[in-house]
Structure 1
Amino acid sequence: MTIRHHLSDDLLVSYAAGSLAEGWSIAVATHLALCPSCRRSLSVAESIGGDLLENISDNASVDHSWASVRARLQQAPKIAAGGTPETPPAGYSGGLPEPLRSYVGGDFDTLKWRPLGRGAYHIPIRTRDRETMVRLLRIPAGKPVPEHSHGGRELTLVLNGSFADGGEVFARGDIEDADASLTHQPVATPGTDCICLAVTDAPLKFRSWIVRAIQPFLGI
């Protein structure tokens, strides 16, 4: 498995600092379970955070500190395509990784899907934060998601299959980070259904009036 779409620096640093809402943390932690490269970057971020807490002076610029963190993260070693992967962390099964498996109460073969229409399904995931909405999505092979933009941020982590979006292909372990500037229509690639973890902090903005009409009932 070669992961090509990784976590942004701001997500890694916020996760290391423990400042992310629970929904975002689920997406980050699940990606980390699949991605040796980002686990290595997280280790760097945690080390930098400790150094900053010990050494930053009272009058140091927060912006300057953040720039230093970004520079260190960008210098962290990456796994080259075709390189030798690291040993997966404890609990990795090749199916749904932790912590996601605990949130949904099982693996792929025990999931209880709810219909969304047009062959798509979802599973809402409860969290204790009021900032995010978290769900599993299952998109039929070869089918598109309705075209939409965003009222805020959306993280989409692929767990099975793949989807194409904007000339890029996102496969297992890849994460797409979208914001209000992006309008798109991801399409599940042929061959197998695409299962994703999706986290948002605002309802999606669908172009289709039919989808908008039923959106309140679907909770998306």
Structure 2
Amino acid sequence: MKAISHHVPDAMLAAYAAGSLPYPFALVIASHVSLCIECRAALEAHQGIGGALLESAETVAVSDGLKADILARLDAPYTPEPVHRRKGALPGPVMSALKGREPRWKSLGMGVRQDILHAGKEGSVRLLYIPPGQAVPDHSHNGLELTLVLQGSFSDATGRFGVGDLEIADEDLEHTPVADPGDACICLAATDAPLRFRAIVPRLLQPLFRI
């Protein structure tokens, strides 16, 4: 696997370590960390800081056994799956979200498919399958979108994203991601608000596809 060049911002990694990210975003970050040595080390540093803060905090009325258990969990090494995976394998956090099943792909048209892993008030997270050379319709965002590449790669106005790379898109970005030649691009994408499509057909189909 080529070196990962698009990482989790430190503030978002700290929020993940603190357990304050909504589930859709947390799943994407956990999956990225399982692939990225650099972000895994940064996460362990944040977890270590959290453990030190707990140790120095004012004592509260809890049993010694409970405190020891909490600190042990914080100090335990993070052991995600190895960075070098067999081709086509999904990260452990994604397999957990799938509950061991294979993706149940639903067509979005033009060869693009999706499997919605979770949808709720806090947002949604889905697997996307994009054939080589195929574009996702031009869109902007009503909130935040995290997209992690699991297979293949895609390119847009901000650059190229390969396996393990994380794209973070906000309300200021309008883009048209295109899957690069070679393997089909499989992504894990999380949003906290519906996308904004420019073309009429995607807008009409948006409620049906829950994008």
Q: Structure 2 CA distance, aligned partners of 1:191 and 1:35?
A: 23
Give, as a single letter, the amino acid of the residue that structure 2 aligns with 1:175: L
Structure 2 partner of 1:33: 34
Q: Structure 2 CA distance, aligned partners of 1:27 and 1:206?
A: 23
Q: Structure 2 CA distance, aligned partners of 1:178 and 1:148?
A: 11
Q: Structure 2 CA distance, aligned partners of 1:178 and 1:40?
A: 24
Q: CA deviation at 1:126?
A: 2.4
1:51-62 aligned within 5 A: 51-54=52-55
Give, as a single letter, the amino acid of the residue that structure 2 aligns with 1:178: A
Give, as a single letter, the amino acid of the residue that structure 1 aligns with 2:171: A
Q: Secondary structure at the match of 1:99?
A: helix
Unaligned 5+ runs, structure 1: 58-87
Q: Does 1:126 align with 2:118?
A: yes
Q: Secondary structure at the match of 2:171?
A: coil
Q: TM-score under structure 1 normalisation?
A: 0.79
After superposition, the C-alpha distances for 1:105-162 in whole angstroms (9 at most, x for unaligned) are 447xx322100011100000126x5201110001110111100000000000000000
Structure 2 partner of 1:151: 142
Q: Does 1:116 align with 2:108?
A: yes
> Closer, same or farther in 2 for the Cα pair 1:102/1:56, shift >3 Å?
closer
Q: Could you tell me whether the CA contact under 8 Å between 2:123 and 2:193 is conserved in 1?
A: yes
Q: Structure 2 CA distance, aligned partners of 1:199 and 1:89?
A: 20
Q: Could you tell me whether the CA contact under 8 Å between 1:91 and 1:97 is conserved in 2?
A: no
Structure 1 partner of 2:132: 141
After superposition, the C-alpha distances for 1:79-114 in whole angstroms (9 at most, x for unaligned) are xxxxxxxxx83477531011111212447xx32210
Q: CA deviation at 1:55?
A: 5.1
After superposition, the C-alpha distances for 1:51-78 in whole angstroms (9 at most, x for unaligned) are 3455589xxxxxxxxxxxxxxxxxxxxx
Give, as a single letter, the amino acid of the residue that structure 1 aligns with 2:90: L
Q: Percent identity?
A: 47
Give, as a single letter, the amino acid of the residue that structure 1 aligns with 2:97: Y
Q: Structure 2 CA distance, aligned partners of 1:141 and 1:105?
A: 28
Give, as a single letter, the amino acid of the residue that structure 2 aligns with 1:188: A
Give, as a single letter, the amino acid of the residue that structure 2 aligns with 1:101: M
Q: Structure 2 CA distance, aligned partners of 1:105 and 1:51?
A: 34
Structure 2 partner of 1:43: 44
Q: CA deviation at 1:47?
A: 1.8
